[in-house]
Structure 1
Amino acid sequence: MSSSTPARRVPIEPQSVDAPLTDSAIFLVLEVVDAPEAHAVVRSALASVSDVSKNVAFRDLRASLSCTVGIGSDVWDAVTGLPRPAELHPFQPIIGAHHTAVSTPGDILLHIRSDRRDLCFELERQLLDVFGDAVRVVDETVGFRYFDNRDLLGFVDGTANPVGLALPAATVVGDEDPDAAGGAYVVIQKYVHPLDAWQELTTEQQEAIIGRKKADDVELDDAVDGQKSHKTLSTIEDDEGEHDILRDNMPFGSPGSGEFGTYFIGYARRLWVVEKMLQRMFIGDPPGLHDRLLDFSTPLTGSVFFAPSADLLDALDD
């Protein structure tokens, strides 16, 4: 090759951040045992996730099985030994006048998705066998598709997700942080809802809080001033335009135990976009006028992870 010929850039393969919405999902948050030998086991386990996933997925290739892995700030250095993504840090609590976005422990996130619940179960079982005693389960939540992608409050969830070329542009880190290129920031929050209180509202009151029509998901006009809807508060715009994130939220719960919830999971190219969205919700815009959806949605968890590129993840044990 001539010295004047530029080297061909090898494409970076992201993880399956853009996997399609599925009928079932498992959100598994793990804490790594504080021991050097545990870090080595976790490193090897993370590098094997793609192979284990392929082995389980082969049982039904039509079931869209995938597993996206996120690594938390507290273990990033010890587990990966790689440069830290520019924005990676623990979830910062947001304390509003009426509601608080809590911060909870979490070192590893496994976001398992499939149209078959049994495949999700089997992949989780095999992965936990690989991690062994090097981790403790902090939270395990099983999500499910509810009717036409609605949450348990009765509204369609994820309507504003980017599609086409806008999807990687909104979720995948690029040349702005070369060491983290191909990765994505992940924020999770587990919300529970008092459905009895929510159902006491009229449909019009619910729609005003959400900012969309309940039946057909049509957007309502933004408020010019005063109290803003959830749709408006969770939309981040500046001089560069609107900054999108990818939401892969899912309902969870158990009518028998009176638990009804939404598992929020947001993938973003820029962590600050999700953080600003949450600040607007919990503090208010203007401050004092918080997102009224929070009067019916209590966050139990809050964690930040970085989902490195598939290439980086596979090579962790090299």
Structure 2
Amino acid sequence: MSDAGSAQRRVPIEPQRVDAPLTSSAVLLTLALTDAQNAVATVRDVLSSVEDITKNVAFRDLSAALACTVGIGSDMWDAVTGAPRPAELHPFRDVRGAVHTAPATEGDVQLHLRANRRDLCFELERQLLDRFGDSVRVVDETIGFRYFDARDLLGFVDGTANPVGAALPASTIVGTEDPAAEGGSYLVVQKYVHRMDAWTALTAEQQEAVIGRTKSDNVELDDAAAPDQKAHKTLATIVDDDGVEHDILRDNMPFGSPGRGEFGTYFIGYTRRLWVIEKMLERMFIGDPPGKHDRLLDASTALTGGVYFVPPAELLAGLGD
């Protein structure tokens, strides 16, 4: 290759571990910056060290696949990063349907910790929070776990439609279409709690009609079986005006406590295009057509909602400079 060709070759931008494998344990931490002195400087310093802190904890068992992904919210993007804003970054917007609402809730930083050992997630969380000190407060801490063969607590396999192979980065990592965001990913999180009495009151066939898949073997059902009421899997499938289907990566985790009567799903969606998840939520909560909301919401309530941008690894590491 000529020298000119070598000079024009683009160096790939290294993303964070958006594609880290689904693990048996996870911690979802939503943090808000406080008004403590030097809070922004402390947060910048800690976030720049996340990779090194994670490596130090992960060394105890490299096979456990410990990873930590960092998302930064719109309100604090400028102060924390000092970098140009990704084109689609904005706070989570309430989605209000006639019956159900997806609320926007507080959050400046979102940490997605995951590993195949609960103790490694615990230790990484402890060390990070120690480093943050009084610069942040914990808005929400949710401990997730893998349930059987990647099922949610409603009994259905979750994440079946996730992209694989080359389609994974193509669906989750921003490209040259937005130079300010290239190498990063949009992250949308929501915490849902399930009313199990309402769900278990449905027959297996009714539950399958709501989800759009069979419960036992996860076979997709034909949409024609219920033309007047679209299933969850149909409402969550986004096709643009040119007929192109847009995938997202779902890293959803079950959480809960039978003793407290708590059963839930923490939605974790990584996407190259924020509008895809926003359109999905509109279809679920408002309906398609409007008024025909996702019947899954009759048994599942959204408690939180946040939008974050996961900057490239290099940008994150440079925050402490």
Instruction: Tell me which interval the TM-score lies in, with the shorter structure as reference length.
Output: over 0.9
Secondary structure of 1:71's partner?
strand
| Residues 1-318 of structure 1 aligned to structure 2 (within 5 Å) | 6-34=7-35, 37-223=38-224, 225-238=227-240, 239-318=242-321
* Shift >4 Å, 4+ stretches: 1-5
Going from structure 1 to structure 2, the CA distance change for 1:4 and 1:54 (only over 3 Å counts) comes to: closer
Comparing 4-13 and 124-133, the one that deviates more: 4-13
Q: Give the drift of 1:317.
A: 1.4
Check whether the contact 2:36–2:134 (CA below 8 A) recurs between aligned residues.
no
Going from structure 1 to structure 2, the CA distance change for 1:4 and 1:53 (only over 3 Å counts) comes to: closer
Unaligned 5+ residue runs, structure 1? none
Q: Give the drift of 1:225.
A: 3.3
Check whether the contact 2:183–2:312 (CA below 8 A) recurs between aligned residues.
yes
Comparing 308-317 and 65-74, the one that deviates more: 308-317
Secondary structure of 2:113's partner?
strand
Cα offsets for 1:235-290 (capped at 9, x unmatched): 00121510000000010000000000000010000000000000000000000000
Q: CA-atom RMSD, angstroms? A: 1.3
Q: Residues of 1 paired with 2:253 and 2:180: CA distance?
A: 31
Q: Residues of 1 paired with 2:252 and 2:5: CA distance?
A: 49
Secondary structure of 2:267's partner?
strand
Code of the residue aligned with 2:203 in structure 1: it is T
Q: Percent identity?
A: 72
Cα offsets for 1:129-149 (capped at 9, x unmatched): 111110000000000000000
Q: Residues of 1 paired with 2:154 and 2:250: CA distance?
A: 17
Q: Residues of 2 paired with 1:199 and 1:191: CA distance?
A: 17
Secondary structure of 1:147's partner?
coil
Q: Give the drift of 1:313.
A: 0.6
Unaligned 5+ residue runs, structure 2? none
Q: Give the drift of 1:200.
A: 1.1
Q: Residues of 2 paired with 1:95 and 1:215: CA distance?
A: 33
Code of the residue aligned with 2:235 in structure 1: it is L
Cα offsets for 1:1-29 (capped at 9, x unmatched): 96786344222111000000000000000
Secondary structure of 2:309's partner?
strand
Secondary structure of 2:223's partner?
coil
| TM-score scaled by length of structure 1 | 0.98
Comparing 7-16 and 284-293, the one that deviates more: 7-16
Going from structure 1 to structure 2, the CA distance change for 1:6 and 1:117 (only over 3 Å counts) comes to: same
Going from structure 1 to structure 2, the CA distance change for 1:7 and 1:229 (only over 3 Å counts) comes to: same
Q: How many residues align?
A: 318
Secondary structure of 1:125's partner?
helix
